[in-house]
Amino acid sequence: MDSPPPKEVPSRRGYPLGTLFVLIAISAVLAAGLSPIFRAISAEKIDGLQPLFAAGVGSAVLGMIGFCAGGLYYPHWRGLLWGGISGVIIGLVAGPLVFIEPADLLSVTVAMSVGSIIAVAIAAVMRRKGD
């Protein structure tokens, strides 16, 4: 009685190609949101250090909020850590957004919203295909 040959398990090294698409979509969303600020800096409407200062303040404030929220919702130290890290990353992007002029606000909002929907759709398709 012969036993069937062992099945080859595909290698799980590296990242799926779909992850690259999600990262590109998220990068495009961030670029669309921050592009009016870069244009304002190049046109010398605002000083280049002001958005950096806003990013620092935003990351500090939202990092503390994330740290507290992570501690409230997750009982272990990982909740504190990931909440703080998430808050810092969000604050780095959200801080400079205060310099967007009201005339650019609608276009930035639409671009970031559509880009976020695309990134979530790609991630959902990847997850479904992996099941």
CB within 8 Å of 16: residues ≥ 6 apart: 126, 130
Give the start-to-end residue ranges of the domains of the chain: 17-130
Residue 85, classified by CB atoms within 10 Å of its CB into exposed (0-12), middle (13-18) or buried (19+), is middle
- pLDDT tens string 17-67: 777 878 888 888 888 888 999 899 999 899 889 999 999 999 999 999 999
In terms of pTM, does the model score above 0.75? no
Give the whole-number percent of the chain exceeding pLDDT 70. 87
The predicted structure's pLDDT at residue 128: 73
Mean pLDDT of the chain: 85
Confidence of residue 9 (pLDDT cuts 50, 70, 90): low
Torsion angle of the four alpha carbons 112, 88, 46, 99, in this order, in degrees rounded to the nearest 10: 40
Distance CA 37, CA 21 (A): 25
The predicted structure's pLDDT at residue 52: 92
